[in-house]
Amino acid sequence: MAVEIIGSPEDTEEYRCAEKFKQLFENDEGFSADDKIIIIPSFQCYGQNTQDIDILIFGKFISTKTMFFCVIEAKSHTPDALVYEGTKWYAPQKGELKDVTAQNIAQRYSLVKYLKNNFNDAPLISNQIFFYNCKKSDFQEKLEKTNSPVFFGDQNISDFFKNLRFQNLDESRFDKFCKLLTKRIVATKLDRKKVERICKSQILSEQDYYKNLGSQLLIYRGKGGTGKTFRLLNLAYKLYNEQTKRILILTYNRALISDLKRLFVILRIPVSWFDRTIQIKSVHEFMGKLLYESKIKEYDEGYHTNKDIKILLNELKNSIVDLDELKKIKNLLDWDYIMVDESQDWPDEERDLLYFLFNSEKIIVADGCNQLVRQDLPCEWANSIYCKTPSKIIYLKKSLRQASNIVKFLRELCAELNMQELDVESNDEIRGGSIKIIVGDYNSKIHEQLIKENKECGNENIDMLFCTPYSQDSYNVLLSNLGYEIWDETKDIIKKTLPTNNEVLRYLNYKSSRGLEGWIVVNYELDGFYNSMLKNYENTGQLTLQSLEERRQEYANNWLLIPLTRAIHTLVIHLRNKDCFISQKILATAKKFPEFIEIIK
C-alpha cells in the first residue's frame, strides 16, 4: 500500500500527527499493494469561512472497491483538561471552553462546500477528533453511552475505520477530487512583492496614526492606485501580527474578496473562529447574516435594502433586538477592528449600523475619491451622529500601483474629458510603463505577444488581468480556443473559490475590477463598456447642482477610471469602434505620447 504525506516536513503539531497516522497505516498488514492513502497536514479549504483543517486523510481500497474522505481536528490536551457532555467535546482555549465537536463538523461542511463549488459534486466526508495525548480508557465509561467520532493516541487503524463513512469507489471521481485536494497555492513573483509590501514596517509618517488606533476614526482617502486597500492590509497585518487582533475587512466586490483570500493563504493567516485572524467578507454576506440572526428577514447573502438596515438599527436602539445575544454568535460581531473598503459608496444607514455595533474608534475606512458607482454623493464617515470620536484623514496622492507613464496618460485623458484633475503623483520608484491601444479586432497574435511580454518580466499568467463588459463573449471563447484555462470571475460560483493554478487567466467584468491589479491589464471593448455606463445611468434623485446629462457623463467617467487604474506596468485598451466619443478622446490623448503609447490597428 502507498501512503503519502503531501507537504514539506515541518515541526508542527499537524505534521507530527500526520506522521503518526502514516505509521499506523503502514504497520497494518491488512492492505493490498494497490491501495492508496493520502495524508495532508494543515489542509486549507480555499475561500471558505472555515478554511483550516488540521489533517485531511482520504484513500481508496482496490480489493473492496471503496473510498473514504475524513477531516481531522488534532488536539494535544490531556484528559483532565477535556470536557465531554452528551455527544460534544470541549477543550480550553484562551481561558474558556471551546466546542471542538462543532468546529470539527464545520470543517466537514466546509470541505463539502469547497468541492461542490469546484465540481458541483462531493463525496461522503467523515470527521473525527484526534486526542493524541489521551487513551480511550480515560473516557471508556462515557464513550459506551454514545458513538462519538473520536480517535485516541493508543488506538489502531481499525478503530479509526469504525468512524468512517465508506462509499463505492469511482476511480474518475476519486482522481478528480485527489487532483484538486493535493493542489496548493504557490506565490508568484508579483505575489511575493505584495507580501513584502504588506509585511514591511509602516510608513514612518503614519506611525502616529497607528498609535492612536482605538481612540479615533481613521480614514485613508485617495484616487485609484494610491494604495488605499494596500494600507488597510498593511495595518491589518500589523494589528494581527503584533497585537494578535481579530480584523474583519468588508467590501462590495466579490472578485476582490477572492483575490485577497488568496493573498491571505500565501501569508498563512488562519481563518479562525477563536483566535487572531484577518477575514474578508462581502457587505452583503455580513449584513445578510446580521439581519437573519436578528430575525429581520431570511438569510440572503446577495440582497438587502436600506429599509432592512433602518429597521435593524431602530430595533437595536430600542432593545427589541438584544445586542448582547448577537455578540455571543461566533464570527459575527467578535472583531477588534472593522476595515471598510470603498467606503465612499456605502449608504448612510449601513455606516451608522457599523458605528452602533462597533463604535467609531474601531472603524478604519478607505475612501476612494470620485469613485462613486452606487450613488451620486459620497458617504461622509466623519459626519454621523453615531461617530463619537475625532477623525483623522490621511490624504494619499502618490501612485503605489501604476508606472509613471500610465499616470501621465491618465492625467491627460482626464483633462481631455474635462474631468476633475487626477490628483495622483508619479512614483519615482515605479518608472516607465507602456500603453497599447488596439483598434478593431483583438486577435490571437496580439494576445500571444502580451503573454510573451508578461513572461519575459518574470511573471505568470495569473498576474495578468482581463476585463470585459460581458459575462460570456467572443473574447472568452478566443482565450479558451487558444488553449488557456480561464478563471472566469464573471460567474458567481467562481468568485467563491480560489485559483490554485498560476497558469490561469483572470477574466472578470469591469464592474468587479475595483481594488484588483495586474502586471498587464487588458480592457476589452472599453468603448462598449463606457457607452453602456452612459446608457444605464439611473437618476438616484439625490440633490446636486449638476444637470442629468452632466451626472450621466460624470458617472461614466468615474467608471472609466476604475479599470484604467488597474495596470502596474502595461495598460492595454481595446476599442471596437474608433469613431465613438470615448474612442476619439482616448486616441487623441494617445497621440501626445508616441514615445510610450503604441496604437495597433
- The pLDDT score that the predictor gives to residue 543 is 53
Domains of the chain by start residue, with CATH = 2-181 (no CATH), 189-396 (3.40.50.300), 404-600 (3.40.50.300)
**If DSSP states are collapsed to H, E and C, what string results for 321-381?**
CCHHHHHCCCCCCCCCEEEECCHHHCCHHHHHHHHHHHCHHHEEEEEECCCCCCCCCCCCC
Note the Cα 414 to chain centre separation in Å: 31
Tens digit of each residue's pLDDT (9 = 90 or more) over 28-44: 888 888 999 999 999 99
Higher local confidence (pLDDT), 544 or 499: 499
Give the DSSP H or E segment for 38.
strand 36-44
Task: Give bridge partners of residue 74 from the DSSP assignment.
Answer: 130
Quote the CA–CA distance of 405 and 589 in Å, as a whole number. Answer: 13
Q: Are 239 and 414 within 8 A, CB to CB?
A: no
- 68: cell is 473514504
**Cα–Cα distance list, 337 to 268, 325, 358 (Å):** 20, 20, 8
Quote the CA–CA distance of 450 and 460 in Å, as a whole number. Answer: 12
What is the secondary structure of 152-171 as a DSSP string? ETT--HHHHHHT---EE--H
What are the strands, taking DSSP E only, across 215-360? 217-222, 246-251, 277-282, 337-340
Quote the CA–CA distance of 289 and 524 in Å, as a whole number. Answer: 36
Give the predicted TM-score (pTM) of the model.
Answer: 0.87
SS3 state at 75: strand
Q: Are 344 and 319 within 8 A, CB to CB?
A: no
What is the end-to-end Cα distance of the chain in Å, rounded? 61
Q: Confidence band (pLDDT; 50, 70, 90) for 544? A: low
Quote the CA–CA distance of 312 and 401 in Å, as a whole number. Answer: 39
pLDDT over 90 at 371, yes or no: no
Q: Confidence band (pLDDT; 50, 70, 90) for 198? A: confident
Quote the CA–CA distance of 218 and 202 in Å, as a whole number. Answer: 15
C-beta pairs of 418-427 under 8 Å, 24+ apart in sequence: 419/370, 419/554, 419/557, 420/370, 422/223, 422/561, 423/223, 423/369, 423/397, 424/222, 424/223, 424/225, 424/226, 424/397, 424/398, 424/399, 425/397, 425/398, 425/399, 426/398, 426/399, 427/398, 427/399, 427/400
Quote the CA–CA distance of 312 and 120 in Å, as a whole number. Answer: 35
Position of cell 493508543? 154
- State the CB neighbour count (10 A cutoff) for residue 542: 9
Q: Confidence band (pLDDT; 50, 70, 90) for 540? A: low
What is the secondary structure of 375-420 as a DSSP string? -SS---TTS-TT--S-EEEEEE-B-SSS-HHHHHHHHHHHHHTTPP
Q: Confidence band (pLDDT; 50, 70, 90) for 207? A: low
Tens digit of each residue's pLDDT (9 = 90 or more) over 577-587: 999 999 999 99
Q: Confidence band (pLDDT; 50, 70, 90) for 323? A: very high
Quote the CA–CA distance of 207 and 203 in Å, as a whole number. Answer: 7
Quote the CA–CA distance of 359 and 354 in Å, as a whole number. Answer: 7
Of 525, 585, 511, 521, residue with least CA distance to 555: 511
HSE, CB side, 13 Å, CA atoms: give it for residue 558: 20
Lowest mean pLDDT of 203-212, 323-332, 511-520, name the range.
Answer: 203-212
Q: Are 341 and 229 within 8 A, CB to CB?
A: yes
Quote the CA–CA distance of 141 and 80 in Å, as a whole number. Answer: 15
- State the CB neighbour count (10 A cutoff) for residue 62: 15
